[in-house]
Amino acid sequence: MQGEDEPSSSATMVEDEIYANGTSADDQKRNRPIITGEQLDIEAYASLYSGRTKITRLIFIADHCGADTNQTMQLEALRMAYDEIKKGENTLLFREVVTKIDGRLGPDYGMDATWCEMIERRAEQRKDKLENELNAYRTNLIKESLRMGYNDFGDFYYAHGALGDAFKSYVRTRDYCTTSKHIIHMCMSAILVSIEMGQFTHVTSYASKAEQTPEALDAITSAKLRCAAGLAHLEVKKYKLAARKFLETGPELGSHYNEVIAPQDVATYGGLCALATFDRSELKSKVIDNVNLRNFLELVPVVRELINDFYSSRYASCLDYLGNLKPNLLLDIHLHDHVETLYNQIRHKALIQYTLPFVSVDLRMMADAFKTSVAGLEKELETLITNNQIQARIDSHNKILYARHADQRNATFQRVLQTGSDFDREIRSMLLRANLIKHDYNQRGGSRKI
């Protein structure tokens, strides 16, 4: 490959190589299937979760799937949410879902006032019973009984949708915890409610508290805490920290935490955050060669393939996968607000890595590889060059990107000169100090010395 002083011949020489960094002939031979933009299978998706998160995820899908363009999906999600709520005791969510359905699913999915009255009457009776029991425990001053009493109150409030009261009740059990197991149980309950409320600062705090207990955590609890911490980092857009937490999650997690997160989510969240923030060596060691993550990636082959494509510089295929995944990712309750940011970061990394090996790149070929227009690609490259992420210049007339490789010889000379200058200054300073000491030239009085 030739230097920058012969750009035209250099561009010709690397023309064939450029395809090796984008869509190569090997890709066509392998006939790798690209996933289609299939509509989310709501029933299969909902089956991955349990409890309140199953309902809130279904409501989230109904709110964000686009009622004007996809009313069928919206009504299906609301129907499943309605059926799921009727299995529990949360009348607040029930009324919310009925309002959203607005009679569109027929009389069977309308307001069931009798059921609501029965649940609320039973709730009042249960609450009175719990208060009487707790008052008795207070009289006896038995720590374990008080802990169980407040924990029962937390479970009661959580089941009925009073998340703030549930959190307060769970946290109050902390004063009556006598073993590490009790502390971990309190932390896990507080984390669960905090995630539902969207209070991720509490999630980080209680995950850290649980990890600091004297006794060693079992593998399942450790995996749950890493997932919770990963969600907290994801929420505040600390994608690299989120990726590390998800990648550290052990396969023991299984479906033990489906009231918060599914194993498929660990692969998706961890994989996308890693692609957006990890460098090439980290991607290889911490993702592709990660035995723990491999078990999760097997559940989501699409994410596994796009990670392998990115690492192998098959950017066109990788971006196709991402493009097809995007509509479903936008319906994810935790990932929805981060999809655009993560996608932009992944795309920018792909553009940077694409240009690294070459002295010059034909923008037309590059635009084909990234499925975009030349004008659009130029704007993206201009932004990266302005942000000093790519050392290059654009020939807008000939549509060629020329890399600005550092002059290693000149840089070495400059470092040698700088080192010599530093050495000279240090020697002069030492000689001056030695002469001052030799002639006893110092200031005796006060704190200053020469």
Query: What percentage of the chain has pLDDT greater than the value 70?
Result: 88
Q: The CATH number of the domain where 280 resides is what?
A: 1.25.40.570
Assess if residue 158 is contained within a domain. Answer: no
Please report whether residue 62 resides in a domain.
no
d(CA 288, CA 354): 20
Q: Is the pLDDT of residue 349 over 50?
A: yes
Q: Looking at the predicted structure, is the pLDDT value of residue 10 above 60? A: no
The verdict on residue 93 lying in a domain is: no
Same domain, 239 and 306: yes
Would you say 424 and 406 are in contact if contact means Cβ atoms under 8 Å apart?
A: no
Q: Give yes or no: residues 246 and 277 share one domain.
A: yes
Kindly state whether residues 252 and 276 are assigned to the same domain.
yes
Task: Note whether 328 and 260 are same-domain residues.
Answer: yes
Cα–Cα dist 124/119, whole Å: 9
For residues 335 and 399, state if they share a domain: no
Asked whether residue 326 falls in the same domain as residue 375, the answer is no
Residues 266, 373 share a domain: no
- Is the model's pLDDT at 149 over the cut of 60? yes
Quick: pLDDT tens for 238-276.
Answer: 999 999 999 999 889 988 999 999 999 999 999 999 999
In a domain, 263, yes or no: yes
- The answer to whether residue 280 is domain-embedded is yes
Residues 332 and 236 in one domain: yes
Query: Where residue 5 falls among pLDDT bands split at 50, 70, 90?
Result: very low
In this structure, are 329 and 371 located in the same domain? no
CATH assignment at residue 375: 1.10.10.10
**What residues pair up with 236 in beta bridges, in sequence order?**
none
pLDDT of residue 366: 85
DSSP summary character for residue 178: -
Residue 4 has pLDDT above 80, yes or no: no
Which of these ranges, 14-28, 79-93, 280-294, has the smallest mean pLDDT?
Answer: 14-28
pTM here is 0.77
| Domains contained in the chain, number | 2
Residue where one domain finishes, among candidates 322, 346, 370: 346
Q: What CA–CA distance (Å, rounded) separates 212 from 391?
A: 45
The pLDDT value recorded for residue 394 is 83
> Do 240 and 293 belong to one domain?
yes
Q: Tell me the average pLDDT of the chain.
A: 84
Whether residue 383 is contained in a domain is answered as yes
Give the count of alpha carbons within 13 A of 325, CB side only: 26
Is the confidence at residue 13, as pLDDT, over 70? no
* pLDDT value of position 264: 92
Given a cut of 90, is residue 11 above it in pLDDT? no
DSSP assignment of 218-285: PHHHHHHHHHHHHHHHHHTT-HHHHHHHHHH--GGGTTTTTTT--HHHHHHHHHHHHHHH--HHHIII
For residue 184, being part of any structural domain is answered with no
Domain containing 330 equals 218-346
Specify if 416 maps to a domain. Answer: no
Do residue 264 and residue 226 come from a single domain? yes
Residue 330 shares a structural domain with residue 245: yes
